[in-house]
Amino acid sequence: MRYSRQRELITDIIKNRCDHPTADMIYGSAREMEPNISLGTVYRNLKLLADEKEIITLETEDKKIHYDGDTSRHSHFICSKCGNIIDLFKPAKTPAEIEELGLSITGEKCIYYGLCNLCANETIE
Amino acid sequence: MRYSRQRELITDIIKNRCDHPTADMIYGSAREMEPNISLGTVYRNLKLLADEKEIITLETEDKKIHYDGDTSRHSHFICSKCGNIIDLFKPAKTPAEIEELGLSITGEKCIYYGLCNLCANETIE
DNA sequence: CTTTTTGCAAAACCTTTGCACAACC
DNA sequence: GGTTGTGCAAAGGTTTTGCAAAAAG
């Protein structure tokens, strides 16, 4: 992957925020430094960075992809009222430990990734 | 909420499948019974049912919403290769227990829902 | 009869993409 | 110089919505 000023800027923006911005929010920030940057470039680089696992994507109920520059293993808490996304840092918290933080859990969505039995046993790629 | 033949059909379809269909797949099934049903009706009812917590939504990386008629507390496993979504039934499994099922976990996304501290402490609605 | 729900089609929305030009190495 | 990345604008795909007609109670 070749260097590009735009990609470095986008990476910096994501890594230096503690919220979980959408592509549009990142575009807004990026334009402050790089007024001519285009939305397409932002999307292209976000996809690249996610593919390279330099950033994490969060698919939420607002139907926009949120990005997280922290790739360490941690989970998230989304406020049902304001929609704010809060990091739940490792070590992994149990529901009880999360509630001790003052967050009352009303629901959860946990998705694990990997290969299913069928795909894992396929000999031909 | 008033009765409608279409909503009952949609609910039946979701409750009687063990996969996690998208709106489009549900639309396809529904048309077999109700050839004139429209996509808009499917979307409207899916949103209604999700609001009423009769079904669950799953926001995945394929950018389509998947629906789950099983509202019991359970998590999901998505195969990174074929995209198949597998239910991980309760009692809640630890990563170790999931791997005993033959599923190798390479990643996870866990989102908890509730009210954040700010919203929980607001006196005025 | 009044209100809710539907079908249809258009609109809205986020994201992706084709292309010519610029930037990188 | 050859290749990769960008800007722009148009296209793509999923979901939402306005409206008149139909269904429900």
* B1: DSSP letter: -
Which residue in B59, B80, B115 is closest to A79 by CB distance?
B115
Inside any domain, residue A115: yes
Inside any domain, residue B10: yes
Inside any domain, residue A64: no
Question: Which residue is closest to B116 within chain A, CA to CA?
Answer: A79
Inside any domain, residue B61: no
Per the prediction, chain B carries an average pLDDT of: 90
A48 in the same domain as A9:
yes
Question: Which residue is closest to B59 within chain A, CA to CA?
Answer: A59
Put simply, the answer to whether B112 touches A108 (Cβ < 8 Å) is yes
Rounded-to-integer distance, Cα A24 and Cα A64, Å: 9
Rounded-to-integer distance, Cα A107 and Cα B23, Å: 23
Nucleotides of chain D in contact with protein CB (under 7 A) are 4-10, 14-18, 23-25
Predicted pLDDT at A42: 98
Predicted pLDDT at A12: 98
B112 in the same domain as B83:
yes
Rounded-to-integer distance, Cα A82 and Cα A85, Å: 9
Rounded-to-integer distance, Cα B125 and Cα B120, Å: 10
Inside any domain, residue B13: yes
Inside any domain, residue A67: no
Total structural domains in chain B? Answer: 2
B49 in the same domain as B20:
yes
* A77: DSSP letter: E
The pLDDT of residue B123 is above 80: no
The pLDDT of residue A47 is above 60: yes
The angle that helices A39-51 and A5-15 make with each other, rounded to 10 degrees, is 70
Residue A40 belongs to domain spanning: 5-55
At B124, the pLDDT band (50, 70, 90 cuts) reads very low
A83 in the same domain as A49:
no
The residue assigned the tokens 């994501």 is A14
The pLDDT of residue B62 is above 80: yes
The pLDDT of residue B93 is above 80: no
The pLDDT of residue A125 is above 60: no
Distance A64 CA to D24 C1' (A): 37
Tell me the three state secondary structure of residue A60: coil
Mean pLDDT within A84-100: 76
Q: What's the CATH number where A29 sits?
A: 1.10.10.10
Put simply, the answer to whether A80 touches B114 (Cβ < 8 Å) is yes
Which residue in A78, A114, A119 is closest to B111 by CB distance?
A78
Contact between B89 and A55 (Cβ < 8 Å): no
Inside any domain, residue B49: yes
Condensed to tens digits (0 to 9), the pLDDT of residues A95-117 reads 777 777 778 888 889 999 998 88
Q: What's the CATH number where A98 sits?
A: 3.30.1490.190
Rounded-to-integer distance, Cα B59 and Cα B55, Å: 13
The pLDDT of residue B15 is above 80: yes
Query: Which are the contacts of A9, defined by CB distance < 8 A and separation ≥ 6?
Result: A30, A33, A34, A37
Predicted pLDDT at B35: 97
Inside any domain, residue A66: no
Tell me the three state secondary structure of residue A86: strand
